[in-house]
């Protein structure tokens, strides 16, 4: 399941929803708002999205994950609106009987969301500047480490 | 009355287009042959601009650039070097929708007291340097610019004392820069120019640059790529086609997709979620 919401993410509730007696592994990735970007001090972020296409793409990615990893359960939420430093902007949860598939599926899930879901981020810096952030030039279909 | 001579810029291999634009065919005729056919009735003094040191024989007299890789202004420089007293009609070969009547209009309205007569591109209101008549007075200013190693044809024309004209249609000055534009022109050629009412949505940086999230427009673009080119010029977008994802009625679409009346088109800059 994929969703987009303007309200804070309730991690405890999500964790509970993912609970499954057959799963021995639950991998949770949280993308958090950090206080710096390319040397500038960030004050807050504002996320916007294409409502129809973002939902459609997110659902397509989840379906793709479930096809590729049939034994995995997957769930992802992306926030929109204004977020403060430290808030969770995106969360991906994957569970499976053993940790390997859950780790792999989670990595693919978050990378695919970043590459394919029409969501944009506007950063407000402490010096008063506001900028639309360009994705990292290395971002794309090839997974990489930030 | 000074003699009118024409110089056709044949370009060479275009990196964005991936091939030589002069030999591109639309509707069974190459771009070069089409331009020749509309210029020949206007002047018997017709030259092809070719690269420095190019002595390859052509069907028409050639004017090689005076130095290697001088850019389009190098063609004009070679033209004035050849005949400093002529009025030079400088024209790119990749203007597939320019008409004989547009060129006739340039000639009729050329004022010998101004440096140049040109069209303002209706899409962005900029003077178009590669379809214009230049007076001998422009020649000296051109030499000064090249001396300073400035090669921007648009900036050169903008600095001249000009007569500005309106082309016969909003698409007259459309040029061929990408394979998607060739597809657009083939559609226009096959199906004609059909006006459509469209709703266009912009996201993130594009909505900021357009100063709106959405607008209702009338456009005669045939495909997504043609529409993007019109709107890119209208709103002076900082991003171009390779960086944009288009969608039609909430489905991602290819740039070559034809448009229909009453569609909702979305243009999206690079995604930056997470």
The reply to whether residue A132 touches residue B272, judged by beta carbons under 8 angstroms, is yes
For residue B206, the SS3 value is helix
Query: pLDDT value at position B148?
Result: 87
The reply to whether residue B272 touches residue A133, judged by beta carbons under 8 angstroms, is yes
For residue A6, the SS3 value is coil
Strand partners, B36: none
The reply to whether residue A120 touches residue B245, judged by beta carbons under 8 angstroms, is no
Distance in Å, alpha carbon of A21 to nearest chain B alpha carbon? 30
- Chain B residues whose beta carbon lies within 8 Å of the beta carbon of residue A122: 204
Query: pLDDT value at position B17?
Result: 66
Q: For residues A62 and A58, what is the distance between their CA atoms, to the nearest angstrom?
A: 6
Confidence of residue A123 (pLDDT cuts 50, 70, 90): very high
The reply to whether residue A118 touches residue B272, judged by beta carbons under 8 angstroms, is no
The reply to whether residue B271 touches residue A116, judged by beta carbons under 8 angstroms, is yes
Query: pLDDT value at position A140?
Result: 44
Strand partners, B262: none
pLDDT tens for A30-43 read: 999 999 988 889 99
Q: Is residue A141 part of a domain?
A: no
Q: A-side interface with B, Cβ within 8 Å?
A: 31, 47-50, 52-53, 56, 78, 89-90, 110, 113-122, 132-135
pTM: 0.83
State yes or no: pLDDT of B186 exceeds 80.
yes
Q: For residues B91 and B75, what is the distance between their CA atoms, to the nearest angstrom?
A: 10
The reply to whether residue B204 touches residue A53, judged by beta carbons under 8 angstroms, is no
Number of structural domains (chain A) is 1
Chosen CATH of B179-268 out of 3.40.50.720, 1.20.1250.20, 3.10.20.30, 3.10.450.50: 3.10.20.30
The reply to whether residue B274 touches residue A89, judged by beta carbons under 8 angstroms, is yes
> Could you tell me which residues come within 8 angstroms of residue A106 by beta carbon, excluding any fewer than 6 positions away?
A27, A28, A29, A92, A93, A94
> Could you tell me which residues come within 8 angstroms of residue B135 by beta carbon, excluding any fewer than 6 positions away?
B2, B87, B110, B112, B114, B115, B116
| pLDDT mean over A112-122 | 96
Query: pLDDT value at position B71?
Result: 82
What single string gives the DSSP state of each residue in A76-145?
Answer: EEEE-EEEETT-EEEEEEEEESSHHHHHHHHHHHHHHHHHHS-EEEEEEETTS-EEEPPPPTT-SSS---
CATH of domain B4-165: 3.90.550.10
pLDDT tens for B93-138 read: 989 889 999 999 999 999 988 999 999 998 888 999 999 999 999 9
Strand partners, A122: A46, A132
Domain interval for residue A109 = 2-127
| pLDDT mean over A69-74 | 92
Q: Is residue A144 part of a domain?
A: no
> Could you tell me which residues come within 8 angstroms of residue B36 by beta carbon, excluding any fewer than 6 positions away?
B8, B46, B60
For residue B181, the SS3 value is helix
- Chain B residues whose beta carbon lies within 8 Å of the beta carbon of residue A53: 247, 250, 252, 266, 268
Q: For residues B260 and B248, what is the distance between their CA atoms, to the nearest angstrom?
A: 10
The reply to whether residue B247 touches residue A89, judged by beta carbons under 8 angstroms, is no
Query: pLDDT value at position A31?
Result: 96
Greatest extent of chain B over all pairs of C-alpha atoms, in Å? 67
Which secondary-structure segment (H or E) carries B18?
A: none
Q: Is residue A83 part of a domain?
A: yes
pLDDT tens for B196-254 read: 999 999 999 999 999 999 999 999 999 999 999 999 999 999 999 999 999 999 999 99
- Chain A residues whose beta carbon lies within 8 Å of the beta carbon of residue B208: 132
What single string gives the DSSP state of each residue in A27-73?
Answer: EEEEEE--SEETTEEEEEEEEEE-HHHHHHHHHHHHHHHHHHSTT-E
pLDDT tens for B260-272 read: 999 999 999 999 9
Residue B259: DSSP 8-state:
P
Query: pLDDT value at position B227?
Result: 97
Q: What ipTM does the predicted assembly reach?
A: 0.90
Q: Which CATH number characterizes residue A63's domain?
A: 3.90.1170.40
State yes or no: pLDDT of A3 exceeds 50.
yes
Q: Give the count of Cβ contacts less than 8 A between chain A and B.
A: 62
> Could you tell me which residues come within 8 angstroms of residue B119 by beta carbon, excluding any fewer than 6 positions away?
B102, B106, B127, B128, B131, B132, B164, B165, B166, B167, B172, B173
Q: For residues B270 and A133, what is the distance between their CA atoms, to the nearest angstrom?
A: 9
Q: For residues B122 and B233, what is the distance between their CA atoms, to the nearest angstrom?
A: 9
Q: Is residue A139 part of a domain?
A: no
Q: B-side interface with A, Cβ within 8 Å?
A: 201, 203-205, 208, 245, 247, 250, 252, 266, 268-274
Q: What is chain A's mean pLDDT, rounded?
A: 91
């Amino acid at each position: 399941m994929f969703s987009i919401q303007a309200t804070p993410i309730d991690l405890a509730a999500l964790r509970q929803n993912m609970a499954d007696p057959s799963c021995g592994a639950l991998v949770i990735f949280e993308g958090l708002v950090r206080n710096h970007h390319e040397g500038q001090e960030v004050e807050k972020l504002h996320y916007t999205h294409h409502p129809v296409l973002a939902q459609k793409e997110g659902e397509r990615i989840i379906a793709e994950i479930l096809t590729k990893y049939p034994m995995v359960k997957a769930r992802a939420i992306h926030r929109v609106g204004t977020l403060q430093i430290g808030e969770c902007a995106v969360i991906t949860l994957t569970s499976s009987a053993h940790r390997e598939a859950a780790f792999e599926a989670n990595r693919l899930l978050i990378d695919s969301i970043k590459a394919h879901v029409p969501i944009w981020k506007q950063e407000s810096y402490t010096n008063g500047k506001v900028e639309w952030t360009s994705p990292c030039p290395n971002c794309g279909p090839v997974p990489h480490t930030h | 009355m000074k003699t009118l001579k024409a110089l056709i810029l044949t370009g060479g291999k275009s990196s964005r287009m991936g091939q030589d634009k002069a030999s591109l065919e639309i509707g069974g005729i190459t771009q070069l042959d089409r331009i020749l056919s509309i210029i020949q009735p206007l002047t018997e003094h017709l030259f092809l601009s070719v690269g420095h040191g190019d002595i390859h024989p052509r069907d028409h007299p050639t004017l090689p650039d005076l130095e290697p890789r001088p850019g389009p202004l190098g063609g004009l420089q070679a033209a004035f070097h050849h005949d400093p007293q002529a009025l030079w009609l400088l024209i790119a070969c990749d203007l597939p929708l320019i008409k004989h009547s547009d060129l006739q209009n340039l000639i009729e309205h050329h004022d010998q007291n101004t440096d140049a007569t040109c069209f303002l591109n209706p899409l962005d209101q900029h003077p178009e340097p590669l379809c214009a008549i230049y007076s001998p007075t422009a020649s000296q200013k051109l030499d000064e610019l090249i001396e300073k190693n400035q090669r921007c044809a648009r900036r050169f024309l903008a600095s001249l004392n000009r007569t500005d004209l309106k082309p016969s249609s909003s698409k007259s000055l459309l040029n061929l820069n990408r394979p998607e534009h060739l597809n657009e022109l083939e559609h226009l050629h096959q199906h004609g120019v059909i006006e459509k009412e469209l709703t266009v949505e912009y996201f993130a940086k594009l909505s900021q640059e357009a100063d709106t999230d959405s607008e209702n427009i009338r456009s005669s673009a045939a495909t997504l790529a043609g529409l993007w080119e019109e709107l890119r010029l209208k709103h002076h977008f900082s991003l171009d086609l390779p960086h944009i994802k288009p969608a039609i009625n909430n489905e991602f679409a290819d740039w070559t997709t034809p448009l229909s009346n009453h569609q909702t088109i979305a243009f999206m800059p690079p995604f930056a979620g997470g």
